[in-house]
Amino acid sequence: MRKNFLPHLLILAAALSACDRTAPSISVVCEENNMGDNIVKWETYPAMQGEVEVFASTDPDNIPEEQPKASAPIPQQYLSIAGNNPAHRYYYTLLFDGRYRVKTAARNVVIPGIENVRDMGGYPSYKHKKQVRWGMIYRSAGIGSLDQRACDELANLRLRTIIDLRTSSEARTMDTTALRRAGIRLERIPIPVNDTDSILDGVLRHDIDNDSLHRIVLQMNRYWATQCTRQYRQMFDLLLDRANYPLLICCASGKGRTGVASALLLSALGVDEGSITDDYALSNRYLDIPKLSARAYELPTRSQIAITTLLSAREDFLNAAHDAIEQQYGSIEAYLNEALGLDRKSQKRLQDILLEKD
C-alpha cells in the first residue's frame, strides 16, 4: 500500500505474448467521458511503430478479433472510441503491431446519482503473471434513492450482488425495491464509523482543527483493519462464491471502509502495493469533493482544509491500516490467513475467480 513509481493510472499489461522473449512493456489506461466515449491512452517501452487495432465486446471474456472498432498509429499514443450502445458496457482488446494484446475497459463507470463507481479489473498480479478480470468486481460510494436510468446502468454491469459496508442509519435512503427489481441481491455488512455529521459540526464550530481531524482518520483506518476482521471475513465469504459475481462493494464515500476492503482484496490477488495505492487514490478523482464539502465554502480556510482532509483518499490513511496490520500480524499474508481465515486454498479459489485465465 505504498506509493507506486510507475506513471499514475497507467496499468502495466500482463497479457502480452508469452512466446516473445523481447515483448515490449505496454501500459494502457481507458476512461469514459461525459459523452459516453472512451478515451484510450497507451505507452510502449521501447517505442513501437505500426498500428494498434481495437476490438470491442460486451463480454470481457470473449472479445472476437474480427472487425476492429477503431485503429490508430502506435506513436499517436491515444484514440477515442465513439460511444457504443448505452445499454451495454464494453470491453476492449488492443492489438499492437498484430502481435501484442492488452485487454482494457473504462476504469470509471458513470451512473447517475452514484459517485466514485469504478471497475477494479486490469490491475497486474505480478506474483501470478496475470491481471484482475474486468467486469467482475466494482467499488463505489453509497447508493441511495435510484431513478430508472441509474437502475438500468447498474443492470448494464450485470451485477448480482452489492456488499454494503454502511451502518443501517447511513443506508436508510437506499432503494432496495429498485435493486430487487433489477435482480441485484443486497448483502449488508455494517462496519462502524465515526459520526461524520458530528465531526463536520465540530469543524464548523472550530472545535476540530485539521491536525486533529487527520489523526481521527488515521485512527479510523487502523480500527477498520484490526478491529473489523469479522466483517471483512464475511465479505471474503461472499467473494469466494462464484455465484455472487459480478459484485460491487460500497460504503458512504467509497474510499474509507471500501478502500481498506479493496486493498485487502487486491493484496489477496497478488497485486503490488503501488497499484493498490493508485487504486485507493482514484477516489480523489472520481469523488466530487467540492460538492460534498459545499458546507465549507463560506468558512475560514482552515475549516475548508479540514473538511477536504476528511473527504480525501490520502496515501498515509491507507498506510495507517497497512502499518497496523504489519505491527499486529507481521505481514499482510499472515493477516489474511490468521485474522480473516483466508488460507492458501481460499486465496487460490479467489484467484481462480478473479484473475484472467491463461
What does the pLDDT look like over 35-84, one tens digit per residue? 778 999 999 999 999 999 999 999 999 999 999 999 999 999 999 998 76
Instruction: Enter the DSSP assignment of 23.
Output: P
The answer to whether the pTM exceeds 0.85 is yes
Of 115, 154, 156, 119, the residue nearest 137 (C-alpha): 119
Residue 244 pLDDT class (50, 70, 90 cuts): very high
Domains and CATH numbers, the chain: 11-106 (2.60.40.10), 137-354 (3.90.190.10)
| Of residues 352 and 200, more confidently modeled | 352
Task: Report the length, in residues, of the chain.
Answer: 358
Q: 331: buried, middle or exposed (CB in 10 Å: 19+, 13-18, 0-12)?
A: exposed
Q: What is the pLDDT of residue 282?
A: 95
Q: What is the pLDDT of residue 7?
A: 38
| Of residues 358 and 171, more confidently modeled | 171
Q: 259: buried, middle or exposed (CB in 10 Å: 19+, 13-18, 0-12)?
A: buried
Q: What is the pLDDT of residue 351?
A: 97
Residue 305: all three cell numbers together: 482544509
Helix, strand and coil percent figures for the chain, each rounded to 5: 40, 20, 40
Tell me the C-alpha to C-alpha distance, in Å, between residue 286 and each of 46, 108, 111, 135, 248.
32, 8, 12, 18, 16
Q: What is the pLDDT of residue 8?
A: 38
Cα separation of 146 and 156, whole Å? 15
Tell me how far apart the terminal alpha carbons of the chain are, to the nearest angstrom: 27
Q: How many helices (H) and strands (E) does the chain have?
A: 13, 15
pLDDT at 249 over 50: yes
CA dihedral 138→143→149→152, nearest 10 degrees, is 40
pLDDT at 204 over 70: no
Q: Are strands 161-164 and 247-250 parallel, antiparallel or unpaired?
A: parallel
What does the pLDDT look like over 212-238, one tens digit per residue? 888 889 999 999 999 999 999 999 999
